[in-house]
Amino acid sequence: MYIANEARYEDMVYRRCGKSGVMLPFLSLGLWHNFGEGSSYSNAREMVLGAFDRGITCFDIANNYGPPPGSAEECFGKIVRKDLAAYRDELFIATKAGYRHWPGPYGEWGSKKNLVASCDNSLRRLGLDYVDLFYHHRPDRNTPIEETIEALEYIVRSGKALYVGISNYDSELTENILKAMEDRGIHCLVHQVNYSMFDRRPEGKLMPLLEKHGVGAAAYMCLAQGILTDRYFDGVKEGSRAAGNSVFLKEEQVTAEKVATAKELNAIAGERGQTLAQMALAWCFRTAPVATLIIGASRLSQIDDNLKAMENTAFSEEEIRRIDRILSPYAREAY
């Protein structure tokens, strides 16, 4: 029988999410990989319970996570029922919809039909009466924004979710949906955004916009799918994500230029007493209004390594100057 670590909240850093009462942990555990049908349940359970024992209260899923779609929610739901039911009020569980989950015209995007059905199906797979946060996973330019908002409003007012959020919206679409939600009396709690040292576009327009509207940011891909670690310093090795069948990281994306940059950054990380991964996480956490960093993991030891980033999240002006210089070739237009 699982009994949670009594000291689980002593060392975790929590940050307020935008203008809300919600405090989120420094790291949130994402169930994008390693929680599907082909993954080890015992390993998944060890990671979830180990994360909670270390003060990680936020668990991030989506209806299409697996593979196959839905299986990550089923896996997590099983862990909650068997081990974490007594701690439900201490968990902040988020799920999302918008990418393809089932065949036909209603299995993706931003219609009310898709979002409400997706939320209901997620609750069934998770075995929960409600989730704490429900996201629209990606913008849909072909569905009226009013319909997407109507769906999110229905989901939160019906008690299926306590909060709603958006993911992968650029600054223009974000401003449009936030203003429209505010007009209907719906607060967007958080925007989930792809953000890392290699992709700093959100700093230009999106992050200031979120601050203006009191919306928190949940940053994901902070390690650039592993490129901001020492994993590829000696090439793409068998068993790494880039060597496999990942949809989001191909071997050709691990360029010599990026590896050389990572090595330069690694030298600064060493001076700070951190690994490159730890510094990359600390770098993202320094940016307002980031409230939490969503990480993936294949084993509990990776979570422990990443949590050490909390020990040093401050950067001197000189460190920022040096890092900015190293990253200058990757500057892209703000969005």
Per-residue pLDDT band for 230 (boundaries 50, 70, 90) equals very high
pLDDT at 243 over 50: no
In the prediction, which pLDDT does 59 show?
99
In the prediction, which pLDDT does 45 show?
98
Nearest CA to 310 out of 277, 278, 273, 280 is that of 278
In the prediction, which pLDDT does 285 show?
98
In the prediction, which pLDDT does 330 show?
85
Task: Give pTM, 2 decimals.
Answer: 0.94
Nearest CA to 295 out of 26, 107, 3 is that of 26
pLDDT at 318 over 50: yes
Percent of the chain with pLDDT over 90: 90
CA dihedral sign of residues 53, 9, 20, 307: negative
CA-to-CA separations, 287 to 18, 185, 316, in angstroms, rounded: 13, 28, 14
In the prediction, which pLDDT does 242 show?
45
Nearest CA to 279 out of 197, 193, 192, 195 is that of 197
Alpha-carbon distance of 320 to 324, in angstroms, equals 6
pLDDT at 316 over 70: yes
Per-residue pLDDT band for 312 (boundaries 50, 70, 90) equals very high
pLDDT at 245 over 60: no
Q: What rounded mean pLDDT belongs to the chain? A: 94
Task: Give the range among 53-57, 235-239, 323-327 with minimum mean pLDDT.
Answer: 235-239
In the prediction, which pLDDT does 235 show?
62
Class of domain 14-229+279-317: alpha beta
